[in-house]
């Protein structure tokens, strides 16, 4: 053995290697811990943001208030439409009497029931648009003894003077027939008129011309013209 040399110390060398390994393990643990903290932090942030958005949405819905629009008014009759979160009500006031019609409960589909076509001493005719160009009519009483009238039918003509209306009662393509009905809103009496459907009038409204007077209904297509007397539906008025 050379002079002044000392034998290797295996214990010292093992300790250094062990410390290096521990340092590497600690660094890896710190790295993994940092990743975990960042991951959970992002998830918590997402959860908080979602909760915040949901809370804002609820507050926005809860803040919706009902509002009313006046659509008709004279000396004794007032008709308002109330929109309560897109549930519509007709609020009718006749003198000191007030009545509210819930269109949802009456199964009247609507989007904007705010157009009055005409009004007389008996009824006010309101249009209710519910799908593009499709519509229905509501006949609102302007006299306390009358009832609100709604027919889920395609109404083709109304007579505001005599309170008569014409609507499609039924369509039967199997026998190529369409039945129109003329009805008086006060007596609720009616009569029918039947037209033939062919290649020239096979699409709604199945006629070319309609004329409604107090005593007669006349309808014309490309191939026929028919009239019926309607005096009896006005009897008693």
Cα–Cα distance measured from residue 73 to residue 80, given in angstroms and rounded to the nearest whole number? 9
* Per-residue pLDDT, 159: 97
Nearest to 118 by CA among 127, 128, 109: 127
Q: Among the listed ranges 124-138, 145-159, 186-200, which one has the minimum average pLDDT value? A: 124-138
Output the pLDDT for position 114. Answer: 78
pLDDT at 78: 97
Mean pLDDT of the chain: 82
- Is 65 a residue whose pLDDT tops 60? yes
Once rounded to an integer, what is the mean pLDDT over residues 177-191? 98
- 133: its two tokens: 């160009």
Mean pLDDT of 211-227: 97
Query: What's residue 24's pLDDT?
Result: 59
pLDDT beyond 50 at 61: no
- Mean pLDDT of the region 183-207: 96
Per-residue pLDDT at 64: 58
Element holding 226 (H helix, E strand): strand 225-229
Tens of pLDDT, residues 26-55: 666 666 666 566 555 545 444 434 444 444
Angle at 222 between CA 219 and CA 227, to 5 degrees: 20
Residue range 108-147, pLDDT digits in tens: 988 878 789 999 999 999 998 776 567 899 999 999 999 9
C-alpha closest to that of 69 among 78, 57, 60: 78
Average pLDDT over residues 198-227: 96
pLDDT at position 25: 62
CA dist., res. 54 & res. 47, Å (int): 11
Q: What is the average per-residue pLDDT within 174-197?
A: 97
pLDDT at 81 > cutoff 80: yes
Q: What percent of the chain has pLDDT over 90?
A: 62
Specify the pLDDT at position 177.
97
| pLDDT given at position 58 | 42
Looking at residue 33, what is its pLDDT? Answer: 63
Check whether 7 has a pLDDT greater than 50: no
Rounded distance, CA 190 to CA 234, Å? 9
pLDDT value of residue 128: 87
% of the chain exceeding 70 in pLDDT: 71
């Amino acid at each position: 053995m050379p002079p002044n040399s000392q034998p290797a110390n295996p214990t010292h060398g093992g300790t250094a290697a062990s410390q290096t390994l521990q340092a590497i393990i600690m660094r890896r643990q710190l790295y993994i811990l940092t990743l975990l903290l960042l991951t959970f932090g992002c998830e918590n942030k997402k959860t908080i943001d979602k909760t915040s958005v949901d809370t804002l949405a609820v507050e926005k819905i809860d803040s919706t208030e009902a509002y009313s629009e006046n659509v008709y008014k004279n000396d004794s009759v007032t008709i308002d439409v109330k929109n309560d979160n897109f549930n519509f009500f007709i609020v009718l006031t006749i003198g000191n009497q007030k009545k509210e019609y819930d269109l949802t409960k009456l199964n009247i589909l609507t989007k904007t029931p705010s157009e009055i076509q005409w009004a007389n001493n008996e009824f006010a005719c309101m249009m209710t648009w519910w799908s593009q160009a499709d519509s229905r009519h509501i006949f609102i009483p302007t006299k306390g003894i009358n009832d609100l009238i709604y027919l889920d039918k395609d109404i083709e003509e109304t007579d505001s003077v005599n309170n008569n209306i014409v609507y499609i009662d039924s369509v039967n393509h199997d026998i190529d027939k369409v039945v129109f009905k003329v009805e008086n809103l006060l007596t609720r009496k009616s009569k029918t008129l039947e037209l033939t459907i062919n290649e020239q009038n096979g699409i709604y409204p199945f006629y070319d011309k309609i004329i409604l007077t107090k005593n007669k209904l006349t309808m014309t297509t490309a191939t026929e013209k028919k009239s019926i007397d309607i005096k009896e539906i006005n009897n008693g008025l």
